[in-house]
Every structure is written in structure tokens, then in C-alpha cells.
Amino acid sequence: MPEEDHLSATQALARAEVLDGLVRRRARWYARYLLIMGAMAFVSTFAIGLFPGPAGAAVSAVLACAVAGCLVVYALRQPVNRRGLAVHHGVVHGLWVILYLIVLTLGLNRFGGSLAWWLLGAFVVALPHLIGGLLEARR
């Protein structure tokens, strides 16, 4: 192997390492996104129990739409996404929807006035995003 090829291969590997580190740092935005989404899921779910009737639904909907809208803009402005992000995102949000529907259905039909139910339910609903965010932060 000629010396020039060895140097350019070494340089290419060094450049790949630098780029890998840059991509990893720039992709950390998704952990923040998930943690904020988890906090929003908690607060908006608990608001339904805290403010019974249409007021709770309104507070929850306004909060969820405002936070989700800001997070969509934030996500669209990020220059880097890690490999596998779409699958991870789909799993986290899919679990969140399932848990939210279960908590909401049971809460409205059986535990409407129980703040303990809504507090526990809000925590359960937030779990997919919070766990997903912590896993992303460890990458």
C-alpha cells in the first residue's frame, strides 16, 4: 500500500470520528424534545382531573396544542436526526396514545372526581416520553 493511501485512509477515519461526535452532540435535541413532551403529557392529563368538565378539557387541549406546536417547530429546525429516530419516535408516541386513551376512558367513566386517579394516570401517560427521553440522553 503506498504511503499516500495510508495517510488518506487515516485522515478519512479521523474525519469520520469527528463527524460521528458532531452528529451525536447535535442529535441530543431529541432527548429534550421527549422530556418536554412528557411534562406536557403529565400536566395536560392531570388538568382534566383538576378541572372537571369542559374547563379541564379546554385547559388540557390548549396546553397540549401550544406545547406540541412549539415542539414541532423546534424539531423541524434541527439539522441532525440520528439513525432509527423515526421508529423510536413512532414507538414512544404510539405507547403514549394507547396509555392516554386508557387513562382518559377509565378516568372519565369510573374515576371522574378522583384526583388520585388523575395524578397516577398523568404519571403513567408521561412515562413513554420520560423513559424515551432518558434513553435518548444516554446515547
pLDDT, tens only, 17-38 = 766 666 666 668 899 999 999 9
> Would you say 127 and 70 are in contact if contact means Cβ atoms under 8 Å apart?
no
CA-to-CA distance for 127 and 125, rounded, in angstroms? 6
Query: Tell me, what's the pLDDT at 41?
Result: 97
- CA distances from residue 40 to 1, 16, 17, 25 in whole angstroms, order as listed: 58, 37, 36, 25
CA-to-CA distance for 71 and 84, rounded, in angstroms? 19
**Predicted TM-score of the model (pTM):** 0.80
Contacts of 79 (CB under 8 A, 6+ apart): 26
Query: Tell me, what's the pLDDT at 61?
Result: 93
Could you give the residue ranges of the DSSP H alpha helices within 1-139? 3-26, 29-50, 54-76, 85-109, 115-138
Band of the pLDDT at 106, cuts 50, 70, 90?
very high
